[in-house]
Amino acid sequence: MEISTLTAYHCLAFVWYFFVIYSITCLRTEERPSEVFLYGGQWKYLTVLNLVLQAVFYGVSFLADVLRLIKKLRCAKCIISSRDLLFSVLAFPVSTFVSISFWTLYTYNRELVYPKSLDGVIPLWLNHAMHTAILPVALLEMLATPHRYPAKKKGLILLGCAAFLYISWVLWIHFVTGEWVYPLFASFSPAGLGAFFIGNFAIIVCFYNFGEFLNRMIWGQSKFCF
């Protein structure tokens, strides 16, 4: 993809995610269903945190493209390294995990992750923007430009740290409020919940490896340009 086209694409993706996040913040909290509690606001949900992550990633990508356009290659190289780390370790595996896990659980029993009462608060288009569109956009990014993956050990350590921070946040919210961020968690014993978290981390590691595989299949080992 030409750099000018890539710049326009990354700009549009950044604006899109910014708009989706803004739309979420404009939802009227007084209309929330009784099962949705206020502590932590929207920032307790992995879905919303992923949207912020995607906005940051596409903002960094847009900056890298602009620097390449104006021939600031030394600065661009540093920004591209940050872009690739964000995409490989977080943006691709997290967006894939959010989309697939949400719709899997939604199909099985939507009340576990997205109670029907939310339909009156969150528009259908916003639900699909948060949980459906994120996956094809991530795949389009994979096709649009090559990304350099870090050493496997480094990548998995960073991914593990991110997972640990989110799980700690979820457990802290439960400690303070006595409520679970997702109703699904209430159905587990402590040991079962631990196994559930470990199993989901194993799944997201698979998505990380899948992203690395796709990147290698599409772009090969050495294609990387400024």
Rounded Cα distance between 5 and 126, Å, is 27
Contacts of 92 (CB under 8 A, 6+ apart): 138, 141, 142, 207, 208, 211
Contacts of 29 (CB under 8 A, 6+ apart): 38
pLDDT given at position 37: 65
CA atoms within 13 A on the CB side of 81: 6
Ranges of residues in the chain with a pLDDT under 50 are 222-226
Which string of DSSP letters, residue by residue, matches 138-204? HHHHHHHS------HHHHHHHHHHHHHHHHHHHHHHHHHHS--SSGGGGGS-HHHHHHHHHHHHHHH
Phi-psi map region of 41: left, alpha, beta (phi>0 left; psi -120 to 50 alpha): left
Rounded Cα distance between 179 and 144, Å, is 42
pLDDT given at position 74: 77
**CA distances, 154 to each of 149, 151, 157, 160, 161 (Å):** 10, 5, 5, 10, 11
pLDDT given at position 76: 81
pLDDT given at position 6: 92
pLDDT given at position 170: 95
pTM: 0.91
